[in-house]
Amino acid sequence: MIAEERWAHIVNLVNDRGVMTVVQLMEELGASESTIRRDLLRLDEMGRLRKVHGGATRLATYGYVMADQSMSGRKGLHMEEKRAIAAYAAKLVQPGDFVFIDGGTTTECLVDAITERDATYMTNSLPHAQKLLAKGCRTLLPGGEVKPLTEVLIGSETVDSIRRYHFTIGFWGTNGAALDSGFTTPELNEAAVKRIGIENTLQPYVLCDSSKFSSIALVTFAEFNRAIVVTDRISDTKMRDTNNVIEVSAEQSPEQ
């Protein structure tokens, strides 16, 4: 396959799916990692896609997220940003807190960064629960049906379980974040779980890298001002005027 054909294939895949990791593109095209990375750099320079850490995203001002990707499909994208966000968020957990942690790859980075064991954690993510238990943290799971794609618990039983609790602090992932549409996710049942968790949390945080500001999913689960947003970069000047967005970098940590 000549370079121009490969570039066209890459752009079509990225535009169709919204995001593609380097690993996914290697598998789709049968090309080496170095070739794909060079292609993404060139296509970014040509203005045909946006190169990000671990892959690429389409250029649309707002890309509509129609369906969830698997956890494995999202791993590798924006990992430097996600780890910086997670490191900041982990320091916010204090002794005695009752913490809710949503499913997702950014919140998985949060679980990896958590050091506070004198707190109680509830999560609707099976992988997160396993990691918290391995750290020696007191861990609660709600009831409900397991969604195979993302390995989170969803459904009316999950909502009813979470409704009984009141959390001091909580952390959510999101597929999209915008001032007008709020925080969005593609699936109605998962949105219901996110919504009740945020409603029952004294101080909710949404952890999202800056790529999420260019995406809107099908269902709003919270208004934009309902949570503090922790992100790596704000490019929207209107968003800079809000008082609930925190930019972090790898060197930052919250005030003690």
Q: Where are the domains of the chain?
A: 3-59, 74-247
CA dist 230 and 119 (Å) reads 21
CATH number of 74-247, picked from 3.40.640.10, 3.40.50.1360, 3.30.70.2740, 3.30.70.3170: 3.40.50.1360
CB-based burial, 160-181: b 16+ in 10 Å, e otherwise: ebbeebebbbbbbbbbbbbeeb
Q: Is the pLDDT of residue 36 over 80?
A: yes
Summarised one tens digit per residue, pLDDT across range 107-161 is 999 999 999 999 999 999 999 999 999 999 999 999 999 999 889 999 999 999 9
pLDDT at 64 over 80: no
Per-residue model confidence (pLDDT) at position 255: 46
Lowest model confidence (mean pLDDT) among 34-38, 80-84, 214-218 = 214-218
pLDDT for position 252:
53
Residue 63 has pLDDT above 90, yes or no: no
**Do the strands 55-57 and 19-21 form a parallel or antiparallel pair, or are they unpaired?**
antiparallel
Provide the pLDDT for residue 79.
85
Summarize the confidence of residues 201-220 as an average pLDDT. 89
Whether this prediction's pTM lies above 0.85 is answered by no
Whether residue 194 is predicted with pLDDT greater than 50 in this model: the reply is yes
Stronger pLDDT, 46 or 228, i.e. the higher one? 228
Burial (CB count <10 Å: 0-12, 13-18, 19+), residue 26: middle
In words, the CATH class of domain 3-59 is: mainly alpha
Q: Judge whether residue 169 has pLDDT over 50.
A: yes
- Identify the three-state secondary structure at position 121: strand
**Res. 256 pLDDT band, cuts 50 70 90:** very low
H helix count then E strand count, the chain: 10, 17
On average, the pLDDT of the chain sits at 88
Q: What is the pLDDT of residue 233?
A: 86
**Angstrom distance (rounded) from CA 108 to CA 105:** 5
